[in-house]
Structure 1
């Protein structure tokens, strides 16, 4: 058994109406909160109202930045951080999917380090953040329990993980906020969670604890497949999907992601394919490429699949098959990925340019 280190520093609270029940926890973080969220979903699903009521109950002031965009850009992070400085906030509450939660981490670093600029999000040394509280309202990214944040960098025309490691202090998990999530968003995000589980399980950084979480997450995903196919998302199913997402976040917090995530970024940036769907389109070919056949078999057993063809059929059914990328574009994306050392090192075996090209071509052509 290999040596390993394990750090999971986020306090996770899971249950219905958990924010109101545990409202006093906000008091320990300061006198003024900065709520970071998207334009409308947190208003519609009730999460913003619950947070505001919890803050009012504890006489905590707050201001709201509700202009987080999908695939948040560095320019937007800079804009929000400027508002946070002007408002002199003490802590951040991120409400929403991965975009608001990731944005909160970048904003938090800039607020903690007054002389930092947005380019420093990609630079050493690693910087700390003001406290972050996470309220996920989608079940996919697991950002509520990871130290990572992904931002769109228009200068290099891709999405890129920031340099720093910022775990939220608390994650409030309440599946009631997911109840009205549209089918396509639900599917794209739960496939993102599956991709986290799979990539983390196969990563060179995987360990016995991350594997245990991955296997449990994949088994829960297998239980949900019939409901996903039937678009039958009951409250109990939503609870499972939220837990799957958080377990997947715990996995990649230790082991990171690998090839599908790195390869999926240009599909999102250049073709507008949602992040989770982009990963899912590559997943079958990736599993067929992986050398650790024992672990691949374990993945298939956990999700109740007999083989990778069956998994591919499922993903095509729920995501829709895409054939939208030319061979010239695949060559370009392959060249970019072969230089992505961070993702390549998470795969436990050597990866050649031809391997990446083959995964793209089998998935997209």
Structure 2
């Protein structure tokens, strides 16, 4: 006979994360637990600070039943986005609401020591500005511009990050803040941030970052897909038809990044007589009405769209979000992408497909890094471990007092 396992405290708490208040009776009905058990577990969650009373429900006669909901201010997390030439950090509550932000011009190529020293100083400053003690910090999420082994948080052979290969990023930060440190690549956290802020009801989406490089963050079935070694979504080094003679920094030729990322677009614009050193310069030229820049960006969109079309057929997302610096070119880039995708993808896959520019923009990465930390802190297993530790401490105190 197969028995349903008992609903743990962490699993009951997972129900309370849905953004609406619950009564004990509703929780008992949803979980199958006895009212007394629900009451005991709610008390534990309140002692942990994760749940708080939420006014009262409408009475059907007698005292109105109490409501309970997630207490978003109980703990704090910090989300950090480290880019090629910039870094930003945000302090958020457990709902992901930003309480404070800092940013700086800092080159990831300077190495892990100065960059992570900035992170340590930023966390301290954010907590001080919010007038919150370090004990309220529950976790740190951080995004890096290169491949990351998610299980260890170590960068693996990152092409634009000299000195970072297999560096123990979590261990470095935990010397200063003894909390969980979650590390992922920047495109994955951008996908998490875009979904949390603007696409909560979308379970299947792809975010494509077009900047110095090109990559994709893939959410399928509501879960971020990293792949076996964490390299899922590495679109930048997929071969583009007709570009075999274009060398790429990875050592191959014909890669999408080599023909459609920011540096490639700047080179294409310069070759036609206009001045541009970066992808940002190309975007500014597009905004200023440069026909050369518009044509270059439109062709880049077509090239990106060729690869995205294959991804659409394989993964079948409902939304493709275009982010990163070059996304600032707006409809000129999107038009090229749409042209190729709708021409090359299956009609059923594109019937309800939306291809849009990121709405979270520059905040997508820090929001995603925050979401990465929050999902860990509020996961059923972590909450269950905290409740068990509280029970053990109560038992020890009772034994000491007897």
- Work out whether the TM-score is over 0.5: no
Which is richer in strand? 2
Which is richer in helix? 1
The TM-score with structure 2 as length reference comes to 0.28
The structure whose Rg is larger is 2
